[in-house]
Chains A and B, each alone.
Chain A
Amino acid sequence: MPRLAPPEAPLSPLQKVLRFHWGLALLIAAVACVGFLMLYSVAGGDLDPWASRQMVRFAAGMALMFGVAMIHIRYWRTLAPLSYVGSLTLLAAVEVAGHTGMGATRWIAIGPLQLQPSELMKIAVVLALARYYDWLGEGRVSRPLWLLPPLLLILVPMALVLKQPDLGTALLLALGGGAVMWLAGVHWGYFLAAIALGAGLVTAVLESRGTDWQLLKDYQYRRIETFLNPESDPLGAGYHITQSKIAFGSGGLSGRGFMQGTQTRLNFLPEKHTDFIFTTLAEEFGFVGALSLLILYGLITLFCIVSAMANRDRFGALLTGGIGATFFLFFSVNMAMVTGLAPVVGVPLPLVSYGGSAMLVLLLAFGLAQSAHVHRPRG
């Protein structure tokens, strides 16, 4: 039975600004600045073509974040199902009218805007699950029948994303959704079962290679293979990861210095301004720099988790926790990927990698978390 929040006096704009989570905003800005620096560096010491555009997007994103944060969380709660349906529709539309890039169809054009609905979907799933568990209350969360709707909410977009195919996003959707379910209090036995099922699925995926029902594209298999043994093909499929590790490791403790990263500058590093930008940072600023960024990210995650714990509004708490978890997944998967701990699945480094959709969607999500924080129940 959902507990109805007692009526509260509306907050004045000034109060809202004062209740804003300024620490989180500051951390986000700090990370984004690291991103500008790196984009400036990989362009060979030039704001063009990446850093300047990224700055404009970040400014727009920050404005969006503040705007979203000013709107009461209950409106977002009301909009949550709609946003989910909208995102799902866009995702389905990609199938019909999407653009193809890098062997996958991920983009859709809405007017002049190039949009990646899968980015939007990551947040929409969190929103929808938070809304669902807010409505469901704590009592029934672990009942098998009530487990079906959230599973569907996760699996349907996952299936669409896998079809693009985008293994990384699919994985993030599953883990992000799972995090919300975990926070909502679903029995841990289900998670064990899910892990077991996942392991079984991975086995099945690997086993299916070369058969008629092959589950992944060949290039994805090759990437997995390369992940397991990158030295087997250093110039072919293993090139990305081998070069990334060389650049990463050659940074050493304190790095080569800003704009002195030879591997990056000489194009040995692939996708240097997007997925592999963390390698550039590691090469130029070394272990100290890489660890610092990791700590910044960790603090952002921590702030979200702490805010969630402190929030007595269930929707707000679940939403903030879910966004924090999704953000964590973003950077940890990317970092694991470029350091050779995980296969190259194509997940950008949040707030740092060049890319409009991801940046805007992420700041929109932080706006929602801020809104939950600003409008958390008082007293």
Chain B
Amino acid sequence: MSRWRPAPVPRSARLTRRAAILFALQGGVMGALAWRMRKLQVDDAQRYRLLAEENRINIRLIPPARGQIFDRRGQPLAVNRQNYRVTLVREQAGDVEAVLDRLSRLIEIPDHDRERILREMTRKPAFVPIPVAEHLSWEDFARVNANAPALPGIDVEVGQTRFYPHGPSLAHTVGYVGRVNERELEADGGATPLLQIPDFQIGKTGVETRAEDVLRGAAGLSRIEVNARGRKVRELSREEGQPGADLQLTIDLDLQRYVMERLGGESASVAVIEIATGDVLASASSPGFEPNQFVFGISSKNWSALLNDPYRPLSNKTVAGVYPPGSTYKMVVALAALEKGVIDAGESVFCNGRYQLGESYFHCWRRGGHGHLDLREALSQSCDVFFYEIARRVGIDAISDMARRLGVGVRPDLPVPAVSEGLAPTKDWKRASYDQSWQVGDTLNAGIGQGYVLASPMQLAVMTARIASGKAVAPRMIRGQGGRPLPDPEAPPLEVNATHLRLVREGMWSVMNASRGTARKSRIYADGVEFAGKTGTSQVRRITAAERAAGVFRNEDLPWNRRDHALFVGYAPYDAPRYAVSTVVEHGGGGSSTAAPIARDVIMRALWGGEPPLSAYPPGEREAEMERRIRPPAPRPEDAAPEAPPTTGAAPEAPAGPSPTPATSPVDPSAPASGRRA
């Protein structure tokens, strides 16, 4: 088979050569690429593997459930509540304005919130949920949920938030939580990553802050895989945290609420201690405030109203407020004198209405004087001259030593912040603080609980409990933790002569029950339940010689903040003491007229564990008490707008009794209202 074949065309030698060179070049480039890949994937693989892991794994904290707080009978004081909130994701919403418009037909979105939402939208990545509304009611939540298809990008979440079911009644003791602020973050120094969770809540005041470690629990960890934009892709592993431990307080919620109601918005405080255990059954500081307002975020208007309120609702007066104890201090002076042996049981002193020291006079509250009286009568009638005399005999250091043994001038160990130490002054203290030597006049003032002496209502209640029991009762507020009760503490003996204590107790009995006792009107009319106590009226202003000559102003004639503080301490029953109570009504007038009836009502509630029989009240008050019980309960302070405080401190009780006019002396520093000194 033969076929014509064309003459072979010679191959171009040059093209072949050039092609070979070209491929050699290309081979070189490919070699370089292979070398580069080897470098990245073999030599440096570990480094890049690490970088890749850092890229994709994000560790997130799971906030632990906060421990709840209960009262001594298990009634909830601080609980975790579902927080229904609505968030909006921009990239899913499309037209944000339109979605917000539709949403605002379902729930209320105030204009300033709307502005905030739109502002945050522009600052944050499109996939980050922006909170639109929080703390929705179940109805609102359900309504938004039902309309979800029409609301693209809107998401409803359930978180946890703190709620205080009894709001203002216990705001000072329980306190409140809030979001972590810059300062707290800085103080922590990054040691607690949990604090950096955006809406994590920590205790701000009260037990919430002091027991933070117990209540908080430990955070859980969730390792999640994220994509390049930080969006969660899936959870790789999860380590559950440890929820915070529940706390049981010693507070009796019912008593506490009664006390707050009884104080009726006055600027006042009451402490009730169970003598056997030291349990603080009530620690009331009036007026209260709404702690839930702080959790939800308080408006600046409400905040400044609270700050500017002359009744200082934010201050926990029971433990942080200090007052000159006035005549309630006389038991301290008496015990100091008895223990030092400068007086004996039958010793009597003559009171002519004033006590002369050098050129100046220290006055008794009764202008005409009391005549001859012994210790029991002096306590019962609260004679000032008697105590000037024995104070002078025993000296300030012995008085203050006794005060500290009874708890005044010693900071009580309580799980709330700003617990005040009070002040039991000594010569050394004055030298150190003022660089002045102690004067005898100072001692006389201290003898009637004025001058430098300062005590908080809680300290006065402790003092009373110690006198009543003869034991060094220590107050406590936490009764159990994590579901287990703490052991009841055994108070050590006071180491004060029992006879001396009995003398003082008899004096306190006489105050309530003797014919000339200053608080006779507030005694308990029930067999076997005798009330013992002591009134006090502490002066916050100086009485000039001219005023004394013209007649001392009556409290009603003075502006509220110039009136005397009304104090009362007491315990019951007299023969087997169970409860000690102290009451301070700021600028309330007289201790017997204002403070004693409150203390009596409160301690009766404690004694009877509820409403005492009407027959236990003085005959003249039974009708009023009955009326109070029939009347629908007064609006709870929770419902009262905090920005509308009472304008004046008109005492709700009967006219002020005899206007006590404690002494003033050349060296008397005009007694402060309740400000701390030194």
Contacts and interface: CB of A to CB of B under 8 A. Distances in A.
A312 B9 contact: yes
Interface stretch (B209-217, B226-234, B311-319, B664-672): B226-234
A339 B42 CA distance: 13
A249 B9 contact: no
A309 B14 contact: no
B41 A249 contact: yes
Nearest to B51: A246
A18 to B, nearest CB: 17
Given A263-B56, A379-B5, A332 B33 contact: yes
Interface stretch (B18-26, B77-85, B640-648): B18-26
Interface string A252-279: 1100000000110011110000000000
Interface residues of B, number: 46
A247 B55 CA distance: 10
B45 A309 contact: no
B189 interface: no
Nearest to B4: A9
Interface string B154-188: 00000000000000000000000000000000000
Interface string B1-25: 0010111111110111011111100
A112 to B, nearest CB: 29
B52 A246 contact: yes
Contact of A179 (B7, B22, B47): B22
Nearest to A307: B19
B228 A268 contact: yes
Contacts of A314: 12, 15
A269 B228 CA distance: 8
A111 interface: no
A291 interface: yes
Contacts of A310: 11
B36 A262 contact: no
A341 B33 contact: yes
Nearest to B52: A250
B23 A301 contact: yes
B33 A305 contact: no
A251 B41 contact: yes
A29 interface: no
B416 to A, nearest CB: 48
Q: Helix, strand, loop or mixed for chain B's interface?
A: helix
B41 A287 contact: yes
A281 to B, nearest CB: 11
Q: Helix, strand, loop or mixed for chain A's interface?
A: helix
B30 interface: yes
A252 B41 contact: yes
A298 B55 contact: no
Interface string A313-357: 110011001000100100010011001110000000000000000
A263 B30 CA distance: 26
A185 B42 CA distance: 41
Interface string A285-313: 01100110010011001100100111011
Contacts of A7: 6
A291 B34 contact: yes
B19 A339 contact: no
A282 interface: yes
Given A291-B34, A336-B33, A377-B9, A266 B48 contact: no
A367 B640 CA distance: 89
A294 B37 CA distance: 10
Interface in B36-63: 36-38, 40-42, 44-45, 47-49, 51-52, 55-56
Contacts of A9: 3
Given A3-B9, A248-B41, A266 B51 contact: no
A10 interface: no
Given A335-B33, A379-B8, A266 B45 contact: no
A309 B17 CA distance: 8
Contacts of B655: none
Given A5-B9, A262-B52, A286 B15 contact: no
Interface in A159-211: 179, 182-185
A268 B55 contact: yes
A312 B11 contact: yes
B29 interface: yes
Interface string B539-567: 00000000000000000000000000000
B108 to A, nearest CB: 38
Nearest to B10: A312
A309 B52 contact: no
Nearest to A239: B228
Nearest to A270: B228
A6 interface: yes
Given A246-B55, A252-B45, A309 B22 contact: no
Given A179-B22, A251-B41, A253-B42, A332 B49 contact: no
Contacts of A269: 228
B55 A332 contact: no
B33 A339 contact: yes
Nearest to B229: A267
Contacts of B56: 262-263, 266, 268
Contacts of B27: 298
Nearest to A8: B6
A310 B44 CA distance: 43
A282 B10 contact: no
A72 interface: no
B229 A294 contact: no
B626 interface: no
B154 to A, nearest CB: 25
6 contacts: A183-B19, A253-B41, A266-B226, A287-B41, A298-B26, A340-B40
Given A266-B228, A312-B11, 11 more contacts: A183-B19, A245-B48, A249-B47, A249-B48, A251-B45, A266-B225, A294-B33, A332-B29, A336-B33, A377-B8, A379-B6
Interface of B: 3, 5-12, 14-16, 18-23, 26-27, 29-30, 32-34, 36-38, 40-42, 44-45, 47-49, 51-52, 55-56, 225-229, 233
The 4 closest A-B pairs by CB, nearest first: A249-B48, A6-B6, A250-B52, A287-B41
